[in-house]
Amino acid sequence: MLNRGLKMRHLQLIALGGIIGSGYFLGTGYVLEKAGPASIFAYLLGGVIVLCVMLCLAELAVAKPVSGSFIHYAKEHISPAWACGVGWSYWVTWVAYVPSEMIAGGIIMNHFVPEISQVWWAVLFGLIITVINLFHVEKFGETEFWLALIKILALVMFVGIAVLALAGLIGDQGPIGSSILLGHGGFAPNGYWAVFLTMVIILVNFQGSEIIGLAAGECKEPERSIPIAVRNVVWRILALYIVPILLLVAIYPWDKASLEESVFAAALNNYGMGWAGDLFAFVVLTAAISCSNSGLYGCARALHALAKEGMAPARFSQLNQSGIPQNAVVVSILACWLGVAAYTLDTSMTMYTYLLALSGFTGAVSWISICWSQYNFRKGLQASGAEAQLRFRTPFFPYVTLFGIWIQVICLIVVAFTEDLQSSLYMGLPILILPIVWYKLRSYYRAAVGETLE
């Protein structure tokens, strides 16, 4: 049995650690470049989507607190074949994304210590997060708690400095007002349609909050801690995303943003704070390690859940003496190291953008699956008259659930018509469909020879 060593504060910071990665500090430049100040609407819409998904997940996780939860829920409330496709695409998402975080950390350390290649730094970070994930789960939770706390404090610091700059107390430009926010082409220089064009990248930035569900089998008092963690994470997302982004577009011209550097550091450097670049380089490094840490956790738990459901080799469901799925962790990190090797062949910003888009597609599929599972779960309880037994209910059902599903479907449709992001469909759809086809063929074969799936 998985060790229930995660405390409430661990659970909350694990989710935040997953969503405040280097992609937030670096990928925000892409969002501003495409949508301008109107990108704040994209982040607001992303926050609403997170709220819908997390409320659905909370209802399921409190009712059935199992590790690898949304894979189990998909199997039980949608179909085993769909669960197989979602589970494996989710695993591939993190296998692709975690190496990018390691490489981001390697690039930063190579800047400070150029004698050592960024690849060796990336390998070192891979070893560190491997050791952390093989520890007792409480040690993992404690490590992630402090790593995530550094990122949160950095954003709080940015908010404080940005407010001072906006008021004219920093720099010699005087009070800024709305001159930057509404200048440079207006609030929506590329039109409001651009908000939807960036949504897949926004969803990437919010990816990781579903790790609460994967951790449900390892937290104490899930019926109490999960709803509190969900509520707190939602409000903290709004505070740590919406407020900093709003202040960012108010003090820094959107048309200067890019993927070349952290747009937060660029904004502070713009006001004569040369130390901000190095400080935020350290913060991005912390973010990369933290997101890799929580990402590997989610990756390994997804593989463990697939094995438990008979959708991956049984050896990946085995636990070590500390209650950790050791084999799943080791295989996942080895796959991530292959990703590190692949990134050395192409470290361009184009590759980074494609990676973000792929993560957005497969992550959105996982979130749709969570809402879909909750919809079928609640409908089943309503039909049997057992709805009153729920200890936590998604409010305003079914409207919250259906909105969470269809707004993400719309975002994925937009991706299909966005040239920059279409590659995510070319890569993401096969990753989703092939495991489904494999599971169906295996089921037909077993039925033909008289075997019964467990």
Neighbours of 314 (CB within 10 A): 10
Sign of CA dihedral 143, 144, 145, 148: positive
> What amino acid is encoded at 301 in this protein?
R
Q: How far is CA 289 from CA 87, 105, 124, 218, in A?
A: 24, 7, 11, 22
pLDDT value at residue 2: 46
Residues in the chain: 454
**pLDDT at site 297:** 77
Q: Is the pTM of this model over 0.85?
A: no
Residues of the chain falling short of pLDDT 70: 1-23, 26-27, 67-68, 111, 133-142, 144, 171, 174, 208-223, 225, 229, 233-234, 258-261, 277, 322, 343-344, 346-357, 420, 450-454
- Residue pLDDT, tens place only, 219-261: 566 667 677 767 776 677 777 778 888 888 888 888 887 666 6
87: which residues sit within 8 A by CB, 6+ positions away? 68, 71, 74, 302, 305, 306, 309, 311, 435
Q: Cα separation of 454 and 70, whole Å?
A: 19
Domain 8-447 matching CATH 1.20.1740.10: the answer reads yes
Looking at the chain, the number of H-run helices and the number of E-run strands are: 19, 0
Cβ-contact 294, 144 below 8 angstroms: yes
Give domain limits for the chain.
8-447
What amino acid occupies position 437? V
307-318 pLDDT, tens digit per residue, is 988 898 889 888
Q: Is the CB of residue 88 less than 8 Å from the CB of residue 306?
A: yes
Whole-number pLDDT of residue 139 = 63
Taking the CB of residue 68, how many other CB atoms lie within 10 A of it? 30
